[in-house]
């Protein structure tokens, strides 16, 4: 995923996962062959990840998400953090490009 | 919610129920690790359970169901056996506990148990045709007062005569 063009793209959670906010944590269960197994793989997101996840609404590009978070995460290279986070989740098939 | 000593995130019981409900709504099945002893001897603490959806399915006598009490009531996710019916509700009972049966309504049932795995092996006892007999024994308290103590005695004798083959 090249950084320069990815900021224009929109990513959404895959149909092959289930995500729920539980006690303030976002928990993601991938459905492997239709089975969600909490013993196999379960993901929880860090603070930045949670903030990005909540903005992945199918309308905002990654650049817009980075701009929206720049104030909250002042001093961080938030665009790089957003790209890195999305890259990891795309690799694990948790996020897919919209459209 | 904090990780345990091994760094594993431990989900609260109600959180597991939420995830289960969401996975089953998508038409998938849901795997998780059993905690507790209310279904001993058919389900042990640490067994891996697989729950399937009951959409368009009527639970039958002896089947084991996962249900969740409404928020603010009970302890969240419970996995117990159907031992009877009462009106629109199902009477559920843990095989291994002496507590009063629960009256559970369809809207609180999440799914049905379709597989138990223990130490990597599929355990079928308790989910086949014998489930009806188990339900009857459980309902009449014979499972708790007669069969279960008898089974423990037999196991103890078996262990003493085969100490090298003893298992938990």
Query: Quick one: pLDDT at residue B166?
Result: 46
The model's confidence at residue B146, banded by pLDDT at 50, 70 and 90, is confident
Count of residues in chain B? 168
Residue B5's alpha-carbon distances to A44, A45, B11, B25, B138, in angstroms, are: 17, 19, 14, 33, 37
B11-21 mean pLDDT = 88
To which H or E segment does residue A98 belong?
none
Cα A64–Cα A68–Cα B2 angle in degrees, nearest 5: 115
For A76-93, write each residue's pLDDT tens digit: 889 999 999 999 999 999
Q: List the domain range (segments joined by +) for residue A72.
A: 3-97
Nearest chain A alpha carbon to B25: A18
Whether residues A38 and B11 touch (CB distance < 8 A) is answered with yes
ipTM score over 0.85, yes or no: no
Interface of B with A in 23-62 (CB under 8 A): 23, 26-33, 48, 50
Mean pLDDT of chain B, nearest integer: 85
Task: Give B-chain residues touching A15 at CB under 8 angstroms.
Answer: 26
Q: Could you give the number of structural domains in chain A?
A: 1
To which H or E segment does residue A81 belong?
helix A78-91
Instruction: Look up the CATH number of domain B13-165.
Output: 2.10.109.10
Q: Residue B71: is its pLDDT beyond 70?
A: no
For B104-137, write each residue's pLDDT tens digit: 999 999 999 999 999 989 999 888 999 999 999 8
> Exposed/middle/buried for B7, CB within 10 Å: 0-12, 13-18, 19+?
exposed
Nearest chain A alpha carbon to B31: A37
Q: Residue B164: is its pLDDT beyond 90?
A: no
Closest Cα of chain A to B146: distance in Å? 35
């Amino acid at each position: 995923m090249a950084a320069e063009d990815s900021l224009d793209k929109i990513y959404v959670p895959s149909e092959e996962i289930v995500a729920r906010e539980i006690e303030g944590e976002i928990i993601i269960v991938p459905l492997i062959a239709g089975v969600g197994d909490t013993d196999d793989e379960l993901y929880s997101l860090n603070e930045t990840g949670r903030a990005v996840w909540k903005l992945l609404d199918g309308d905002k590009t990654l650049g817009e998400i980075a701009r929206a978070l720049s104030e909250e995460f002042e001093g961080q290279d938030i665009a790089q953090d957003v790209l890195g986070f999305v890259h990891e989740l795309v690799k694990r098939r948790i996020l897919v490009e919209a459209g | 919610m904090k990780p345990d000593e091994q760094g594993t995130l431990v989900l609260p019981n109600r959180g597991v129920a939420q995830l289960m409900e969401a996975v089953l709504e998508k038409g998938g099945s849901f795997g998780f690790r059993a905690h507790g002893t209310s279904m001993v001897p058919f389900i042990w603490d640490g067994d891996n359970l697989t729950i399937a959806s009951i959409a368009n399915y009527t639970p039958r006598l002896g089947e084991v169901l996962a249900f969740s009490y409404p928020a603010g009531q009970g302890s969240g996710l419970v996995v117990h056996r159907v031992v009877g019916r009462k009106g629109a509700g199902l009477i559920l009972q843990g095989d291994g506990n002496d507590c009063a049966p629960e009256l559970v309504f369809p809207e609180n049932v999440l799914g049905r148990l379709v597989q138990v795995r223990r130490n990597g092996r599929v355990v079928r006892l308790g989910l086949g045709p014998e489930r009806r007999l188990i339900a009857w024994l459980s309902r009449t308290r014979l499972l708790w007062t007669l069969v279960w103590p008898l089974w423990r005695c037999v196991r103890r004798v078996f262990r003493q005569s085969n100490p090298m083959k003893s298992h938990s």
